[in-house]
C-alpha cells in the first residue's frame, strides 16, 4: 500500500508538471497581441485602437516582452513558493482572487455532485429492481434526454420554467438555498443521468453473479441481499464516474456560473481570457487540475475501502 501511495504521488506531480507546460503553451499561443488587448482593457476601452507607444509601455511594465521560457520558469518558481502570481486585470494577487471566487465554485460543484450522486444511485437501483417495467422505461428515456441536452440549454429552461413562469426560485445571484437549486440541477443533471445508467447496468450484472445467488439460497432477506451484496459491489463502476465527473463539473461550472451570475471562478476566468490576463488564466486552470487529480486520488483509495479484496501493489 505504501509503495502504491508513493507511485501515485509521483504520478500526480508528474501530471501537474506536464499539465503546467501544456496550459502555459496553449494560453500563450493565443492569436493576437496580448499587450494590445491589455492596453485596451486597462486604459482606453475595448472599441479603441491602442497606439504603439502605449502597447510598448504595457509590454515593458508587465514583462510581456520576456522570452516564453523565462516567463514559464518564473511562474513555476512562484507556484513552488506558494505565490500564484499577480493579476494585471484585477490588480490583485491571484491567491487572493482564488480565495474569494473559488469557494463559491467548490460549493456549487459539491452540491451538484451530491445531487447527481444521490439521485443517480436511487434511480439506478430503482430502475434495476423494476427492470423492463413502465417506470424503468420512463427512467431510461429520462436519462437519455438528460445526457443529450447541453448544460446551458438546461439552465435557460430551468430559469424560464421555475423562475419566470412559476416564480419559485430567483433568476440569478448568490445567497441562501433558493439560489443554489437551479445552478446545481443544471450543472449536475448530465452526471446524474450517467450515474443512473451505470448503476442500473452494474446492478443487473451483479444480481446475476454466483455469490448473490448463493446469498439468496442461504435464505437471507431480500433487502439484506440487495444492500449488503448487490449495491456494495455495484458501486465500484459508479466511483469511477464520480471521480471523472468532478473535473467535468468544475469545467462546466464556468458556463453555469455565467448564466446564473454566480460569483465563482467562471465569470473571473471569462474576464481574464478576454483581457489576456495570462497569469490569472494559467493559475486558475492549474488549481482546477490540481483539485481534479486530488479527487481521483481519493476515489482510487476508496476502491479498497468498499472492496477489501482490491489490493494495491
Instruction: Tell me the per-residue pLDDT of 76-94, one tens digit each, with 9 for 90 and over.
Output: 888 888 888 888 888 889 9
| Mean predicted confidence (pLDDT) in 181-202 | 91
What does the block give as the cell for 222? 431480500
- Residue scoring higher pLDDT (204 or 2): 204
Strand partners, 92: 87
Encode pLDDT of 95-123 as tens digits.
999 999 889 988 999 999 999 999 999 99
pLDDT band at 309 (very low <50, low <70, confident <90, very high): low
Weakest mean pLDDT among 9-13, 65-69, 181-185, 305-309: 305-309
Q: Report the pLDDT value the prediction gives residue 112, as an integer from 0 to 100.
A: 92
User: Sign (positive/negative) of CA torsion 170, 260, 122, 133?
Assistant: positive
Say if residue 31's pLDDT is above 70.
no
Weakest mean pLDDT among 51-55, 69-73, 104-108: 51-55
List helix spans (H) across 63-150.
Answer: 68-80, 94-129, 134-148
Q: How far is CA 167 from the centre of its chain?
A: 29
Say if residue 60's pLDDT is above 90.
no
Q: Report the pLDDT value the prediction gives residue 226, as an integer from 0 to 100.
A: 77
Q: How far apart (Å, rounded) are the C-alpha atoms in residues 254 and 271?
A: 11
Q: Are 52 and 33 in contact (CB under 8 A)?
A: no
96-306 belongs to which CATH class? mainly alpha
Give residue limits of the domains in the chain. 2-84, 96-306
- Residue scoring higher pLDDT (22 or 241): 22
| Mean predicted confidence (pLDDT) in 192-208 | 88
| Mean predicted confidence (pLDDT) in 274-281 | 83
Provide, rounded to the nearest whole percent, the portion of the chain with pLDDT above 90: 17
User: Sign (positive/negative) of CA torsion 162, 164, 165, 168?
Assistant: positive
pLDDT band at 146 (very low <50, low <70, confident <90, very high): confident
| Mean predicted confidence (pLDDT) in 126-150 | 89
pLDDT band at 18 (very low <50, low <70, confident <90, very high): very high
Weakest mean pLDDT among 36-40, 264-268, 271-275: 36-40
Q: Report the pLDDT value the prediction gives residue 90, as an integer from 0 to 100.
A: 84
Q: Report the pLDDT value the prediction gives residue 37, as an integer from 0 to 100.
A: 67
Say if residue 15's pLDDT is above 60.
yes
Encode pLDDT of 254-263 as tens digits.
888 888 888 8
| Mean predicted confidence (pLDDT) in 22-47 | 69
- Residue scoring higher pLDDT (190 or 227): 190
E strand or H helix that includes residue 172: none
Say if residue 47's pLDDT is above 90.
no
What does the block give as the cell for 70? 523565462
pTM: 0.82
Amino acid at each position: 500500500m505504501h509503495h502504491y501511495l508513493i507511485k501515485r504521488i509521483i504520478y500526480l506531480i508528474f501530471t501537474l508538471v506536464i499539465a503546467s507546460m501544456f496550459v502555459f503553451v496553449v494560453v500563450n499561443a493565443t492569436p493576437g497581441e496580448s499587450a494590445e488587448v491589455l492596453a485596451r482593457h486597462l486604459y482606453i476601452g475595448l472599441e479603441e485602437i491602442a497606439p504603439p507607444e502605449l502597447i510598448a509601455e504595457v509590454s515593458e511594465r508587465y514583462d510581456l516582452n520576456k522570452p516564453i521560457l523565462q516567463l514559464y520558469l518564473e511562474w513555476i518558481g512562484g507556484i513552488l513558493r506558494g505565490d500564484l502570481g499577480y493579476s494585471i486585470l484585477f490588480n490583485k494577487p491571484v491567491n487572493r482572487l482564488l480565495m474569494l471566487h473559488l469557494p463559491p465554485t467548490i460549493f456549487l460543484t459539491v452540491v451538484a455532485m451530491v445531487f447527481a450522486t444521490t439521485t443517480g444511485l436511487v434511480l439506478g437501483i430503482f430502475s434495476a429492481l423494476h427492470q423492463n417495467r413502465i417506470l424503468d422505461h420512463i427512467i431510461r428515456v429520462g436519462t437519455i434526454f438528460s445526457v443529450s441536452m447541453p448544460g446551458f440549454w438546461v439552465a435557460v429552461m430551468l430559469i424560464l420554467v421555475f423562475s419566470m413562469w412559476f416564480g419559485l426560485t430567483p433568476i440569478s445571484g448568490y445567497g441562501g438555498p433558493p439560489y443554489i437549486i437551479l445552478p446545481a440541477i443544471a450543472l449536475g443533471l448530465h452526471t446524474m443521468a450517467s450515474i443512473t445508467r451505470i448503476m442500473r447496468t452494474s446492478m443487473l450484472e451483479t444480481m446475476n453473479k454466483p455469490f448473490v445467488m448463493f446469498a439468496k439460497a442461504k435464505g437471507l432477506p431480500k433487502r439484506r441481499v440487495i444492500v449488503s451484496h448487490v449495491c456494495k459491489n455495484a458501486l465500484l463502476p459508479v466511483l469511477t464516474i464520480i471521480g471523472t465527473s468532478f473535473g467535468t463539473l468544475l469545467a462546466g461550472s464556468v458556463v453555469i456560473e455565467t448564466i446564473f451570475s454566480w460569483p465563482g471562478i467562471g465569470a473571473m476566468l471569462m474576464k481574464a481570457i478576454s483581457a489576456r490576463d495570462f497569469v490569472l488564466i494559467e493559475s486558475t486552470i492549474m488549481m482546477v487540475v490540481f483539485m481534479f487529480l486530488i479527487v481521483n486520488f481519493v476515489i482510487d483509495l476508496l476502491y479498497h475501502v468498499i472492496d477489501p479484496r482490491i489490493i494495491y501493489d
